[in-house]
Amino acid sequence: MSDFSGVSLKGKTAIVTGASRGIGAGIAILLAKRGANIVVNHVSEGSKKRAQAVVDEITKIGTKAVLCQADVSTLDDFSKIVDAALKISETGKIDILVHNAAAGLEANLLDTTPDFYTTHFDCNVRGPIFLTKEIIPHIARGGRVVFISSAGARLGVAGQTVYAATKAADEALVRVWAKEFGHSHGITVNCVNPGPVATDQWFQSNEQFLKDMQPLIESTPAAPRVGEVDDIAPLVAFLCSDDARWVTGSCLSANGGLYN
Ligand SMILES: NC(=O)c1ccc[n+]([C@@H]2O[C@H](COP(=O)([O-])OP(=O)(O)OC[C@H]3O[C@@H](n4cnc5c(N)ncnc54)[C@H](OP(=O)(O)O)[C@@H]3O)[C@@H](O)[C@H]2O)c1
């Protein structure tokens, strides 16, 4: 008989930041399909309906979901996220934290302002650092922290001075925290590193950037196309599972072989 128990997330409680749309929504729904209860986080008022639709879809799947509007750039908002997770937890613990929300605008170095820098670093680096710190006391042994990084961290894409630096910082955090929280807490910390994915973030890129990226996309070894949310979410679900217990401090490339 088939045994898929190693990939089951039944009864786990997961927080997915930025889960109203795009990759985060795909991750939230897939983790729910594997049995997890989900905190569906988003930030903007305009996304409330989309985030609620994700919650409704999860409820239909049959696990618990709660909407949590909170800004990962704002430290004072973190208690809302923790409280939401504890409210739906079946064990009083939190099992999975997926750092997916990110600011991802392009700017060449010469157009980069201190405000642009701060907005991106607050959302992509400071937020995950202090949200993780807040959540660690509540994470169960066997817990999982997964970051969504980006090709930008390693590929060297023009126009991504600040964004690339934030994502490289996230990849560094994964390696450090794997060591800090392995023996002490039994937690694994990993990241999934997508190439271009067809979401709002990709389509909001300026025309020149999309044009410059076209040759790279056509050279993608697995297929000459941008990635889809469904190319990324299963890797996150795997890293959250018991089957992935021996994987920590690693970065799983989800980019059709563009680079490793
Ligand atoms: N798309 C790509 O080509 C690509 C490639 C590589 C890596 N990635 C990474 O994949 C992740 C998801 O990207 P995506 O393309 O799915 O993005 P997206 O479609 O633009 O969605 C962004 C999500 O993040 C949320 N968010 C943004 N700022 C937030 C904040 N301060 N606090 C809480 N939530 C916030 C948004 O909430 P609202 O809806 O409320 O605004 C939304 O749910 C990001 O880490 C991104 O860097 C994307």
83-93 pLDDT per residue, tens: 999 999 999 99
**Over the chain, what is the mean pLDDT?**
96
Q: Check if 2 is active-site.
A: no
> Considering the domain boundaries, does residue 246 fall inside one?
yes
* Beta carbon of 47 within 6 Å of any ligand 1 atom: yes
Is 34 contained in some domain?
yes
Per-residue pLDDT at 1 exceeds 80: no
Of ligand 1's atoms, which has the minimum distance to the CA of residue 232? 10
Task: Indicate whether 258 belongs to any domain.
Answer: no
Cα(199) to centroid(ligand 1), Å: 9
- Determine the pLDDT at residue 201: 84
Q: What is the pLDDT of residues 190-232, one digit of tens each?
A: 999 999 999 998 888 888 888 888 998 999 999 999 999 999 9
The pLDDT of residue 65 is 98
Task: Tell me if 65 sits within 8 A of 32, measured CB to CB.
Answer: yes
Is the CB of residue 14 less than 8 Å from the CB of residue 39?
A: yes
Place of tokens 């609620």: 52
Q: Quick check: is 260 in a domain?
A: no
Residue 2: inside a domain: no
pLDDT, residue 38, reads 98
pLDDT tens digits, 140-150: 999 999 999 99
pLDDT above 70 covers a percentage of the chain that reads 100
| 143 within some domain | yes
Angle at 83 between CA 167 and CA 139, to 5 degrees: 60
Work out the average pLDDT over 252-256.
94
Q: Residue 177 domain-assigned? A: yes
Q: Which atom of ligand 1 is the closest one to the Cα of 200?
A: 19
CATH number of 198's domain:
3.40.50.720
Residue 25 tokens, joined: 């929504």
Quick check: helix, strand or coil at residue 114? helix
Please pick, among 73, 89, 163, 253, the residue that the annotation labels catalytic.
Answer: 163
Total number of domains in the chain: 1
Distance 148 CA to ligand 1 centre (A): 9
Span 41-74, pLDDT tens digits? 999 999 999 999 999 999 999 999 999 999 999 9
Could you tell me if residue 49 is inside a domain?
yes
Closest CA to 65 of 16, 21, 110, 106: 16
Q: Which sign, positive or negative, has the C-alpha torsion 212, 213, 218, 224?
A: negative
163 given a catalytic annotation: yes
Domain extent, residue 240, equals: 7-253
